[in-house]
Amino acid sequence: MNKVVIIIISFLVLNLTAQENRKIVDLTYAFDENTIFWPTQEGFQLIEDFHGMTEKGYFYSSYG
């Protein structure tokens, strides 16, 4: 029982000290027609391969 309490207290202390040094880095960017996702390719193009009901009655959607 004492080991569990010591582990929990140690975890809380380490977690609180680690939060002081955290730095959030935003790596998000817009993903639209101007986004280059591969250097040798043109911009993003949404090409619909299939969208609708299959012969077996299931809905299926596929983009290339």
The whole-angstrom separation of Cα 16 and Cα 37 is 38
pLDDT score recorded for residue 56? 95
User: Which stretches within 1-64 are classed as H helix?
Assistant: 2-20
Structural contact between residues 63 and 49, judged by C-beta atoms closer than 8 angstroms: yes
Check residue 21 and report its DSSP letter: T
Domain ranges of the chain: 2-63
At residue 13, what is the residue type? V
pLDDT score recorded for residue 58? 96
pLDDT score recorded for residue 55? 95
pLDDT score recorded for residue 54? 94
For the chain, residues with pLDDT lower than 50 are: none
